[in-house]
Structure 1
Amino acid sequence: MYNFLLVIVIILSVLIVIGIMMQPSKQNSAASAFTGGADNLFGRQKARGFEAFMQKATAYMGAVWMILLFLLAYLSSK
């Protein structure tokens, strides 16, 4: 069980990295580097299409990844 979950975590880690790299860049100008993108935080429109799908998929994969890591930690302590 532990080894199976470990393999799933490794595969999910690679998928999360790929998912993050596929998301479009949100940095539009050099000013964003200094402000940290705070100017876009409140004026930003809701994501649509591929961008929305990638944001949701990355968030869900991250949540499952964290749950699996806690489960692995629990199993390794026994």
Structure 2
Amino acid sequence: MVLAAKILLVIASIGLIIVVLLQSGKSAGLSGAIGGGAEQLLGKQKARGIDALLGKLTVVFGVLFMISTILLGYVLRAAA
């Protein structure tokens, strides 16, 4: 059980790192952060294609990472 949780954690970690690095930048500097936030709030800037897929994969790998971390912590505490 511990080995399976560790393997899941490593896969989720590597997947999350790769997916985040593949995403394109959303803004450029401080002015882009201020203006970009307003554009996203109003719905002018929609993610399409590969950006949408990478966004969904980021959520999936993030959830897998959190679940496997909690599972590994629970299993290691129960074993001690």
State if a TM-score over 0.5 links the two structures: yes
Matches within 5 A, 1:1-78: 1-28=1-28, 30-33=30-33, 35=34, 37-43=36-42, 44-78=44-78
SS at match of 1:73: helix
Gaps of 5+ in 1: none
Cα pair 2:16 2:58 within 8 Å, conserved: yes
Distance 1:36 1:69, change over 3 A: farther
**How many residues in Structure 1 have an aligned counterpart in Structure 2?**
77
Q: TM-score, normalised by structure 1?
A: 0.81
* Paired residue type of 1:74: Y
Gaps of 5+ in 2: none
Q: Which moved more, 1:37-46 or 1:47-56?
A: 37-46
* Runs of 4 or more above 3 Å deviation: none
From the two aligned structures, give the one with the greater helix fraction: 2
Cα pair 2:39 2:45 within 8 Å, conserved: no
